[in-house]
Chains A and B, each alone.
Chain A
Amino acid sequence: MDDKLTLTINGISVRGKKGQTVLEVCRENSIKVPTLCFHPKMPPYGGCRLCIVEIQNMRGLPPSCTTPATDGMNISTHTDRLFKIRRTVLELLLAYGDHNCLMCEKNSECELQNLVYEHGIDTVRYKTNFVPKPLDDSSSMIVRDPNKCVLCGRCVRGCLSVQVNGVIDIAARGSDSFITTFNGGLLNDSNCAFCGECVASCPTGALTQKQSRFKGRPWELKKVQTTCTYCGVGCQLELNVKDNEVVKVTTDPELGGPNQGSLCVKGRFGNDFINHPDRLKVPLVKKNGHLQESTWDEALKIVADKMGSIKKTSGPDSLAFFSSARTTNEENYLVSKFARAVIGTNNVDHCARL
């Protein structure tokens, strides 16, 4: 059976596929429908009410993220009626939150900020007595600011549906609703494994990485895609660099690779060793029983001379090489080549078994 659909969106005939939602068809056809609670990795939610559309012969204003596309649908995505409600939604969010972009880590990559701008909001009609709630900065990795939370539920779905950890959920009802942890306490006292899926999912500054706070604005960071240096999964990640320092790690499903946009605690939060002051910066040579700072020239000369002399006096098999499961393929190849071609021994191994 043909799984192609023909729909009319804003008066233009477009194609879609069976099984797609209206939002997916819109996106595929470059029709920009505003969203906030939608995240491509997660099951749709339908909570923010920004992606609502008008569909002929359908009651109410269905959210495009959950509505299955069907053949012949006639959809309007940008009517005055929709714009009015979207604006109301955004203004309500602004009225009942603390959204001061000047003091926000997410400034310039905040979805709420973009939406407010795109809807031309320069004043909030609603005056409220919003009372800020305390931050949770109990963990050394994640800061939770409930005052910037829009309750889109993306962190909850990221934790439950993507990582299947279920550490956080929405508690209470109505306007008292808030994101809580399992056991209801601070994040650090919960069973959170700090994979950071929630942080990566958050559209606003409600969840941020603690170590990178105030280390660089989004537009100052250079993102370099690379492969994680920890376990064997080979997650693709982006090192966020400012002034020759890795200040943050992010990822994106678009990067490809096996991790599909997820990371674990080590990959996301464990790269501060790169800047650690203990890093070796110059060669060390043992003199009088103590390692002392030296020069490349001296160190390399000692190594070359000493290995040469051992090879000469005791034979190539009296030398051995431990390569490393943590260095690159190229370097492992070279260690093997060095042992075999330069020294002439097969005494080369690495810690595969340990």
Chain B
Amino acid sequence: MEPAIRIQPGKDRQVLVCRGTGCESQKAKVIFDNLEKELEKAGLSGSVETKYTGCHGFCQQGPTIMVMPAGTFYCNVTPDDVAEIVQTDLKGGQPVERLLFLDPKTKDRVLTFRDMRYFNPQRRIVLRNCGFINPEDIEDYIAVGGYDGAKKALSMTQQQVIDNMKASGLRGRGGAGFPTGMKWEFANRSVADQKYIICNADEGDPGAFMDRAVLEGDPHSVLEGLIIGGYAIGATKSYIYVRAEYPMAYERAIIAIDQAKKKGYLGKNIFGSSHDFEIKVKLGAGAFVCGEETALIASIEGKRGMPMPRPPFPAVKGVFGKPTNINNVETLANIPVVMTKGGEWFASVGTEKSKGTKVFALAGKITYSGLVEVPMGTPLREIIEEVGGGILNKRKFKAAQTGGPSGGCIPAAHFDVPMDYENLTQLGAIMGSGGLIVTDETTCMVDMAKFFLTFTQKESCGKCVPCRLGTKKMLEILTDVTKGKATLEDLDQLVALAEDVKNGSLCGLGQTAPNPVLSTVRYFRDEYEAHILKKECPARVCVRLIKFQVNPDKCKKCGQCASACPVEAITWKKKEAALIDSEKCIKCRSCILACRYNSID
């Protein structure tokens, strides 16, 4: 899974410091600077190369450092740890044990990333270079075979490039899963004096950050994807539409474009061909709806980001009225590989209808969260138990929410489902952009539906009535449910309204906004009914419905609740059940989360 990284001549080892957004926020720059200083002090500057990289996805354990070629992987590194790593490992040849990864099952320290359970089951195509190359150095990308795909494409006819893409079976990773080759073919067939290809980097799902990781860690792969796609459809102009909340992705995209221009990979007659291609980066203002193609187009044109009904499709009438093809970052990062290794090779990975890999943003009640890339069709159980290290605190898996606010949940009954487009759709969940939120019995499904609906309701652009007002009314009903103020009639109205919003809304945002509600009602209707009829929240999340009383029958008298309470509202003596003082209790739920035996009602 690792590329052949470029190393400076005369040096025999490299220290790779992750400087993706996550690690950078925890002083990765100071770590990097310290490293250079310590190496200098230790007299190792001549033999050890330092390199900073983008995100390799294991942000939960960041900041991380890798020593290559050994592959030693250090987790949770602080600036103060650097001296020890230099002295003990780089100079002394011994790993710093305490910073190595702790295997959750064996409780052993694992020396290299190659042996880590988190990385092991992964198959990295999209993230192939992330964490290994310097994203701000085009030569690093070229050294791992970068731009070979673009060169190859330019030596082929447009149709050959499209045919190869169709053979690969690659489907759009932005959410809808439309075959990329067909999309290109539509745009190719449109006749116009100017066409555009756009990279959609307006990643908006709460929790999903694979697009950011790719742009931060391997921006040239996106550029190369755009060059190939641009050539295939006949576009000479391109935009990368990236949200303003991703300043590092924005910056690295600009640097990459600049370097590619200097190399002659962008501009007039790229790679010495007769094809011209330019890329501009456009900052989005962070509206979720701008991930929708037509809203994104409006935003690029300088208008309010609001969608337009299709047809006409962007392939016919897109940005500035010209035929436009839009691909998502993850899709584009696949494309150089599809070119170099061939469509058929790509199609050999994955399932019958879902080819290649999928990057998931694993989060929630799981031991290890982060970005994981697995072949399409990998069972959900494998992702959660192997890659993610299982559910936290030995609790029980309840459901996985996929596709973020547009998606739905997969209940425990379907824990072994192979994750591909068709299976997920059939379960009422969706692939979406790859958000994967794991829940356990302390997650209230009503509350989760409310969380996502709060998001979509706020992010609705307000253009069409069902989405603007329908989601608002739905949220009002859901809020009533969580307060125990709803009736069964309200629940019926919620479902009926959800159907109307789904069918009646203008764009994908509104059409999918009811999914979390519909899906949780489908699989967890009993939880809704408990809220409504018994005025109870079984997961003890909806504060209004929690009594905050210790159930003495269930209490194991361990005292965890008392120590978790921030306001000393719980009295506990050894071998006695705890007691909560309702006068002092601030209903923060710390005790509930601390209690492994679910003994607080």
From the candidates A66, A85, A95, A150, name the one contacting B504 in the complex (CB within 8 A). A85
Contacting chain B: which of A25-33, A165-173, A201-209, A265-273? A165-173
**Known contacts A125-B493, A173-B458, A177-B468: A49-B473 contact under CB 8 Å:** no
8 Å CB contact of A151 from B308, B311, B462, B504 = B462
Given A49-B466, A125-B493, A174-B460, answer yes or no on A89-B504 (Cβ-Cβ < 8 Å): yes
Q: How many angstroms from the CA of A143 to the CA of B493 in the assembled complex?
A: 36
B457 engages A49 (CB within 8 Å): no
Partner of B466, one of A67, A89, A174: A89
Contact B459 A92 (CB under 8 A): no
Contact with A along B66-109 (1 / 0, CB 8 A): 00000000000000000000000000000000000000000000
Most chain A CB atoms below 10 A, which of B463, B497, B511: B463
Whether, in the assembled complex, A196 has its beta carbon less than 8 Å from a beta carbon of chain B, the answer is no
Q: Given A62-B309, A68-B312, A89-B466, does the pair A175, B457 have CB atoms closer than 8 Å? A: yes
Q: Is A93 an interface residue (CB 8 A)?
A: yes
A133 contacts B by Cβ under 8 Å: no
Residues of B within 8 A of A95 (CB): 469, 473
> Does A48 reach chain B (CB closer than 8 Å)?
yes
A60 contacts chain B at the CB level, 8 A cutoff = yes
Instruction: Say whether, besides A49-B465, A151-B468, A173 and B287 are in contact (CB < 8 Å).
Output: yes
B461 within 8 A of partner (CB): yes
Indicate with 1 or 0, residue by residue over B499-534, a CB within 8 angstroms of chain A CB atoms. 010011110000100000000000000000000000
A216 within 8 A of B: no
Contact A63 B465 (CB under 8 A): no
Q: By the criterion CB–CB under 8 Å, are A46 and B506 in contact?
A: yes
Which residues from 285 to 318 on chain B have a C-beta closer than 8 Å to any C-beta of chain A?
287, 289, 304, 306, 308-309, 311-312
Q: Are A174 and B459 in contact (CB under 8 A)?
A: yes
B464: chain A residues within 8 A (beta carbon): 46-49
A175 touching B462, Cβ below 8 Å: yes
Could you tell me the distance between the alpha carbons of A45 and B304 in the complex, rounded to whole angstroms? 13
Chain B residue at minimal CB-CB distance from A50 = B465
B308 touches A174 (CB 8 A): no
- Report the minimal beta-carbon distance from A9 to chain B, rounded to whole angstroms: 18
Give the nearest-CB partner of B501 in chain A: A88
- The verdict on A81 contacting chain B, using a C-beta distance below 8 Å, is yes
Whether B462 lies near A172 (C-beta < 8 A) is yes
Given known pairs A52-B504, A85-B503, the reply for A174 and B457 (CB within 8 Å) is yes
- The reply to whether A92 and B457 contact each other, CB–CB distance below 8 Å, is no
CB nearest neighbor in B for A126: B473
Does A176 lie at the interface of the complex (its beta carbon under 8 Å from any beta carbon of B)?
A: yes
Chain A CB within 10 A, most for which of B289, B311, B506: B506
CB-defined contacts of B304 to chain A, threshold 8 Å: 169-170
- For A67, list chain B residues within 8 Å (CB): 309, 311
- Minimum CB–CB distance for A39 against chain B, Å: 15
Q: Which of B309, B463, B466, B493 contacts A85 (CB 8 A)?
A: B466
User: B122 contacts the other chain (Cβ, under 8 Å)?
Assistant: no
B477 CB → nearest A CB, Å: 9
Residue from B460, B472, B476, B500 in contact with A88 in the complex, judged by beta carbons closer than 8 Å: B500
- A68–B309 Cα distance when bound, in Å, is 11
Given A46-B464, A52-B504, A66-B308, answer yes or no on A92-B473 (Cβ-Cβ < 8 Å): yes
What distance in Å separates the Cβ of B182 from its nearest Cβ neighbour in chain A?
15
In contact, A46 and B472 (Cβ under 8 angstroms): no
Q: Is A290 an interface residue (CB 8 A)?
A: no
B472 closest partner in A (C-beta): A175
Number of residue pairs spanning A and B whose beta carbons lie under 8 angstroms apart: 105
Which residues of chain A are near B461, meaning CB under 8 Å?
173-174, 177
- Interface check A61, CB cutoff 8 A: yes
Contact between chains at A85 and B500 (CB < 8 Å): yes
Report how far A92 CA is from B460 CA in the complex, Å: 15
A316 within 8 A of B: no
Q: In the complex, what residues of A have CB within 8 A of residue B459's CB? A: 173-174
B375 at interface, CB cutoff 8 A: no
Residues of A contacting B503 with CB < 8 Å?
Answer: 60-61, 81, 85
Q: Which chain B residues border A81 with CB–CB below 8 Å?
A: 503
Alpha-carbon distance between A125 and B309 when the two chains are bound, in angstroms: 28
Of the candidates A46, A96, A128, the one whose C-beta lies within 8 Å of that of B309 is A46
Does A276 reach chain B (CB closer than 8 Å)?
no
Bound together, the chains give a CA A91 to CA B395 distance in angstroms of 44
CB distance from B498 to the nearest CB of A (A): 11
Q: Is the C-beta of A153 less than 8 angstroms from some C-beta in chain B?
A: yes
Within 8 A of B (CB), among A90-104: 92-93, 95-96
The smallest beta-carbon distance between B464 and chain A, in angstroms, is 5
What is the minimal beta-carbon distance from B97 to any residue of chain A, in angstroms?
51
A163 to B582, CA, bound (A): 64
**Given A174-B457, A175-B457; A88-B497 close (CB under 8 Å):** yes
Give the nearest-CB partner of A63 in chain B: B309
Q: Could you tell me the distance between the alpha carbons of A175 and B476 in the complex, rounded to whole angstroms?
A: 12
In the complex, are the beta carbons of B469 and A66 less than 8 A apart?
Answer: no
When distances are taken between beta carbons in the complex, the residues of chain A under 8 Å from B497 are 88
Complex contacts, B493 vs chain A, CB 8 Å: 125-126
A150 vs B464: C-alpha distance when bound (angstroms): 10
Residue-wise, chain A 310-326 has the 8 Å CB interface mask toward B (1 for contact) of 00000000000000000
A230 to B497 Cα, complex, angstroms: 52
Q: How far is the CA of A45 from the CA of B466 in the complex (A)?
A: 15
Residue interface bits B447-487, CB-to-A below 8 A is 1, else 0: 00000000001111111111111111100100000000000
Q: Is A287's CB within 8 Å of the partner chain B? A: no
List, in ascending order, chain A residues with CB within 8 A of B460's CB. Answer: 173-175
Given A49-B506, A85-B503, verify A93-B465 contact (CB < 8 Å). Answer: yes
Minimum C-beta distance from A240 to chain B (A): 31
Q: How far is the CB of B285 from chain A (nearest CB, A)?
A: 11
Give chain A residues whose Cβ lies under 8 Å from the Cβ of B309. 46, 62-63, 66-67
Find out whether the CB atom of A175 lies under 8 angstroms from the CB atom of B504: no
Whether A173 pairs with B504 at a CB distance below 8 angstroms is: no
Q: How far is the CA of A84 from the CA of B312 in the complex (A)?
A: 26
Nearest chain B CB to A49's CB is how many angstroms away? 5
A128-B476, A169-B304, A174-B472 known; A47-B465 Cβ under 8 A: yes
Q: Is the CB of B469 within 8 A of A92?
A: yes
Question: Is B473 a contact of A174 with CB atoms below 8 Å?
Answer: no
Q: Are B466 and A88 in contact (CB under 8 A)?
A: yes
| Nearest CB in chain B: distance from A124 CB, A | 11
Q: Of A48, A62, A128, A170, which contacts B465 at CB under 8 A?
A: A48
Which of A46, A48, A63, A169 has most chain B Cβ within 10 Å? A46
Q: Which of A48, A66, A92, A176 has the most CB of B within 10 A?
A: A92
Which of A85, A93, A170 has a CB less than 8 Å from the CB of B469?
A93
In whole angstroms, how far apart are the Cα atoms of A84 and B501 in the complex? 11
Q: How far is the CB of A36 from chain B (nearest CB, A)?
A: 8
Contact B465 A60 (CB under 8 A): no
Bound CA–CA A45/B298 (angstroms): 13
Residues of chain B lying within 8 A (CB to CB) of residue A92: 465-466, 469-470, 473
CA gap between A47 and B473 in the complex, in Å: 18
Q: Contact between A68 and B511 (Cβ–Cβ < 8 Å)? A: no
Instruction: Quote the shortest CB–CB distance from B301 to chain A (angstroms).
Output: 13
Cβ contacts under 8 Å, A63 to chain B: 309, 506
Task: Evaluate contact between B457 and A61: CB separation under 8 angstroms.
Answer: no
CB pair B500–A174 under 8 Å, yes or no, is no
Residue on B with the closest CB to A169? Answer: B304
Query: Which chain A residues (168-223) contact chain B, with CB distance < 8 Å?
Result: 169-170, 172-177
- Does B471 contact A174, Cβ atoms closer than 8 Å? yes
Q: CA–CA, A81 to B504, complex, Å?
A: 10
List the A side residues contacting B470 at CB < 8 Å.
88, 92
A336 to B304, CA, bound (A): 58
In chain A, what residue has the closest Cβ to B294?
A46
Which residue of the partner chain B has the closest CB to A90?
Answer: B465
- 6 A-B pairs with C-beta separation under 8 A: A49-B464, A61-B503, A84-B500, A151-B468, A153-B463, A170-B462
- In addition to A93-B469, A177-B462, 6 A-B residue pairs with Cβ atoms within 8 Å of each other are A47-B465, A48-B464, A49-B465, A60-B503, A92-B473, A176-B462
The 7 closest A-B pairs by CB, nearest first: A177-B462, A174-B460, A46-B309, A92-B469, A85-B504, A175-B472, A88-B500
